[in-house]
Amino acid sequence: MSQHFVQVQQASKRFPQGRGQDDLTVFENVNFNLEKGEFVCIIGHSGCGKSTILNALAGLDQFTDGGLIMEGHEVKGPGLERGVVFQNYSLLPWLTALENVKFGVRARWKDWSKAKVDEHSREYLSMVGLDEVIDRKPSQLSGGMRQRVSIARTFATKPKLLLLDEPFGALDALTRGVIQDELIKIWGRDRQTVFMITHDVDEAILLADRILLMTNGPEARIAEAVEIDLPRPRSRAEVVKNPNY
C-alpha cells in the first residue's frame, strides 16, 4: 500500500524522431510524490519536459517507462478525478461563461438537478470575481476573464488532482497577480492537490507549499526532478492552511 497520494516512479519519456534518427530522450528516472492537499509548483527551463509530465499525470500521454500511482493504484488514461487548466483557456466558444462551467459540472454529477448545477456553477464563477459577466461568450471576455472561467470550470468539478500548465503565462503582470489571489482562494475552499507548472520562480515562491525543479542530470539534456528549499516568506498556500499562524 502506498502512503502517498500520487507517486511518479522511475519515469522516463522518449519521443521517436523518425527517419532512422535516435529517439529524443526528454527525461529519465524522474521520481517524486504528491501528498493530499499540497500545492506543488514545478519549475525548469523550457523544453525540459514539464508539460510532458503534466500530460502523463492527466492521462493525456504516457511515460515510456516507469509508473504513475494514484492512491495506491496504477493509472493509465484520463479520469474525472483529475482536472487540467492549460495556458490557452480551451473554452467552448459557442457557450457563455456560465454554460461553459455548467457543461463540466453536468458531466461530473449526472444526477444533479438543473437548479443544483446552476447554483454550483455560479458559486465557482463568483469565487473568481465573474458575477457580472457570466452571460458573455469567450469572445466577449478579456484574456484574464477567460482564464478565470477556465479555472472556475476545472475547480467546479472538484477533481482530486488539479493540473495547471502555466495558467498565467499569457497574462500581463497585473492581471496575473489578481488571478493568483483568486486561484489560492478557490483552492482554499476544497484544498485539492495542485500540481502547477510555471516558468516564473517568483510565482512558485509566492504560491507553493513545495517546489520541484527539473534539473539537467549527469547526462546533458536529461532532466530529473529535485526538491528545492528556498528561503522565503510564508507562501500563500501556507497562509490559507494556517490563517492564525
Write out the residues near ligand ADP by the rule CB under 6 A: 15, 24, 26, 44, 46-52
Q: Is 52 in the site for Mg ion (CB under 5 A)?
A: no
User: Coil, helix or strand for 8?
Assistant: strand
Burial class (CB within 10 angstroms; exposed 0-12, middle 13-18, buried 19+) of 147: buried
Residue whose C-alpha cell is 500520487 = 6
Left (φ > 0), alpha (ψ -120 to 50) or beta: where does 183 sit?
A: alpha
Decide which of Mg ion, ligand ADP, none touches 49; Cβ closer than 5 to 8 Å per partner kind.
ligand ADP
* Shorter beta-carbon distance to ligand ADP: residue 60 or 95: 60
Give me the least distance between CB of 51 and Mg ion, in Å please: 3
Q: Residue 183, CB half-sphere, CA atoms under 13 Å: how many? A: 30
Please identify which residue in the block is written with the cell numbers 492581471. 175
Cβ nearer to Mg ion, comparing 55 with 157: 55
Q: Could you tell me the smallest distance in angstroms from the CB atom of residue 169 to ligand ADP?
A: 11
Tell me the closest approach of the beta carbon of residue 132 to ligand ADP, in angstroms.
34
User: How is residue 64 written as a grid cell?
Assistant: 515510456
**Shortest distance (Å) from residue 214 CB to ligand ADP:** 7
Which residue of 8, 32, 42, 51 would you call a contact of Mg ion, by CB under 5 A? 51
Give contact residues for Mg ion (rule: CB under 5 A): 51
